[in-house]
Amino acid sequence: MKPEERVWQYVDKSAGPDGCWPWIGTKGTRGYGSAWDGKRTRPAHRYAYELLAGPIPEGLQLDHLCRNRGCVNPAHLEAVTNRENILRGIGHTA
């Protein structure tokens, strides 16, 4: 099985296309999933996003709109600048 097929074995899509897709595989201490892409271990949400939505533009990072770090649903992820991601973060005050 190819890594891009294998990754979905570790995703719970039971909430449907609009719900969170929790990563049920290995997670780091900060709650982000870890996925093997066939060459290296990567953040699972980034790998899933790239598989379904395309490349993440240079200089941008993914913001979890649902605020669930374990979610890999590309519909819940938005490519933003680091500054925008920080400003949107929980606990930030303007």
Residues of the chain above pLDDT 70, percent: 96
pLDDT at 59: 97
**Cα–Cα dist 28/57, whole Å:** 24
Q: Name the pairing type of β-strands 34-36 and 41-43.
A: antiparallel
Residues of the chain above pLDDT 90, percent: 90
Stated pTM of the model: 0.90
pLDDT digits (tens, 9 = 90+) for 26-64: 999 999 999 999 999 999 999 999 999 999 999 999 999
Which residues, other chains included, contact 20 with Cβ-Cβ below 8 Å and sequence gap of 6+?
66, 68, 70, 71, 73, 76
> Does residue 42 sit in helix, strand or coil?
strand
**Cα–Cα dist 5/51, whole Å:** 10
Q: Give the chain's mean pLDDT.
A: 94
